[in-house]
Amino acid sequence: MIYNQILVRFGDLTLKGKNQKAFLKSLYKLFSVKMAGLNVFIEYQFDRIFIHLNDSNVDDVIERLNLISGISSYSFVLKCDNDIESIKIKSRELMDEVAKQKTTFKVRTKRSDKNYPIHSMEVTKIVSAYVLKNNPNLIVDVHNPNVYLDIEIRNDAAYLFNTHIKAMGGYPVGIAGKGMLMLSGGIDSPVAGYLAMKQGIEIECIHFESTPLTSIESAQKVIDLVKKLAKYAPNNKINLHLVPFKELHMALIDNVPESYNITIMRRMMYRIATKLAIKKNCLCIINGESVGQVASQTLGSMNTINSVTNYPILRPLCTYDKLDIISLSKKIDCYDLSIKPFEDCCTVYIPKAPATSPKINLALKYEEGINFDELVDWCVLNTNSITISKDSDLDLTMEGLEVREVIKDLKEQGRC
């Protein structure tokens, strides 16, 4: 590989606000965490970062780079001395590498060193003429070239590059504060979590588990999904709160008319999630709801469900098409896990005809039959919190049938 560095850009728009300092601090920290263990040297500058590759495996570096939110794009760069002879020779070497077959190209020069003795246009002319003469595959096309050769002259060196690759975008994760992600084992909620992190929100996850009514594999699936999301987290770890939901779940099944079962179950989830979010200093709740997807996600349902809390609820996917959600799910490597067919509390006892336009007054009336305040508080109090790192090998499935028991044992043994 002819390139010796990667030039990383943050996007200038983001850098103009008051948050500039905090943005850079978070980004630098994220960089050092994500690049840890690789043989690279990271050079932090005010408006960009250079990764010196030092013979590291480029694919490994790129894989890590793609986990960092707040980066707008990157380029592979050949750094050389900034005298015109070096620029000519290195430009030719680079174009020889890129143009092994006939192709069109254009040179663009930028001087941030305004004292440089040759003007940008002149550098462009000299270098174009030189590489053209030496590489018969090249044809100049200034309007619509296949390849650009960008030359950036700074006072310490010249930087040559011809790629401009889109990165994750967004803001460094953590800069926006913390949110509580309602994580089911489905396709949507991990994607919602990823998008929230991309927007700068550090996440904790809450999962309502009804073991042994549901299988322990369904809780394991959630742990495995958290592992995937932890790759993007500030310290490669995410806290997961497993709410023992079975009792409340059974109380709903026994006491609530079938058509309002899901509505009231989700009202309970929102109540518990709000209490836990406050307890864990999360400033919002995030979930994977998408308007119209199922009965509980019509606008009418959302109103009735949402009315139990005044906490901000972010729904990053609310307007997304399922196909777009699936392609993001594949991109973050969650899809194969998400489609594993384990039931969770939303998929056992699915009512035949759930209300698509449930009324708040009816929901309140049906809730009168359950002592739900106590059950909600019990759920919050008995929630099992564990920290999952990206490399976690936690496996609940061999340990028992009920999450609460299993976690208690594992904690006693110091295994989680």
- Chain residues binding Mg ion by CB under 5 A are 188, 293
Nearer to ligand ATP, 75 or 210 (CB): 210
Identify what 287 binds: Mg ion, ligand ATP, none; CB under 5 to 8 Å per kind: ligand ATP
Of 97, 161, 91, 163, whose CA–CA distance to 133 is shortest? 91
Among 61, 94, 128, 188, the residue binding ligand ATP under the rule CB under 6 A is 188
Task: Answer with the entry of ligand ATP, Mg ion, none that 182 interacts with (C-beta below 5 to 8 A by kind).
Answer: ligand ATP
Q: What is the DSSP letter of 83?
A: S
User: Does 76 interact with ligand ATP (rule: CB under 6 A)?
Assistant: no
Q: Is the four-CA dihedral 113, 115, 116, 119 of positive or negative sign?
A: positive
Cite the DSSP H helix spans in 108-210: 120-134, 188-198
Q: Min. distance of Cβ 229 from ligand ATP in angstroms?
A: 13
Helices (H), 256-390: 261-279, 299-306, 322-331, 335-338, 360-367, 372-381
Nearest alpha-carbon partner for 206 in 280, 142, 295: 280
Phi and psi angles of residue 259, each rounded to the nearest 5 degrees, phi first? -65, -20
Distance of closest approach, residue 204 Cβ to ligand ATP, in angstroms: 12
Position among 145, 186, 234, 316 found at the interface with ligand ATP (CB under 6 A) = 186
Per DSSP, what are the bridge partners of residue 159? 79, 152
Q: Which is nearer to Mg ion, 173 or 295 (CB)?
A: 295
Sole binder of ligand ATP in the list 198, 207, 221, 249 (CB under 6 A): 207
Continuous H helices in 168-314: 188-198, 216-230, 246-255, 261-279, 299-306
Using CB under 6 A, pick the residue from 10, 76, 208, 366 that binds ligand ATP: 208
- How many residues of this chain bind ligand ATP (CB under 6 A)? 18
CA 203 to chain centre: 10
Q: How far apart are CA 100 and CA 268, in angstroms?
A: 63
Which lies closer to Mg ion via its Cβ, residue 151 or residue 314? 314
Residue nearest to Mg ion (CB): 188
Task: Show the tokens assigned to 285.
Answer: 């709740």
Q: Which residues contact 378 (CB under 8 A, 6 or more apart)?
A: 247
By a kind-dependent CB cut-off of 5 to 8 A, residue 187 interacts, out of ligand ATP, Mg ion, none, with ligand ATP
Determine if 384 is a binding residue for ligand ATP (CB under 6 A): no
Nearest approach in angstroms of CB 100 to ligand ATP is: 45
| Strands, sheet with 237-244, edge to edge from the N-terminal-most edge strand | 313-314, 284-286, 178-182, 202-209, 237-244, 384-389
Q: Is residue 346 involved in binding ligand ATP (CB under 6 A)?
A: yes
Which residues in 286-305 contact ligand ATP (CB under 6 A)?
A: 287-289, 293-294
Binds ligand ATP (CB under 6 A): choice among 40, 67, 126, 187: 187
Q: CB 266 → ligand ATP: shortest distance, Å? A: 7
Residue 240, SS3 per DSSP: strand
- The residue with its CB nearest to ligand ATP is 186
Question: In the window 165-184, what residues touch ligand ATP (CB under 6 A)?
Answer: 182-184
293 or 298: CB nearest Mg ion: 293
Sign of the CA dihedral 131, 151, 42, 38?
A: negative
Binding residues among 8-37 for ligand ATP as defined by CB under 6 A: none
CB of 390 to ligand ATP, least distance (A): 21
Residues that bind ligand ATP (CB under 6 A): 182-184, 186-189, 206-208, 287-289, 293-294, 344-346
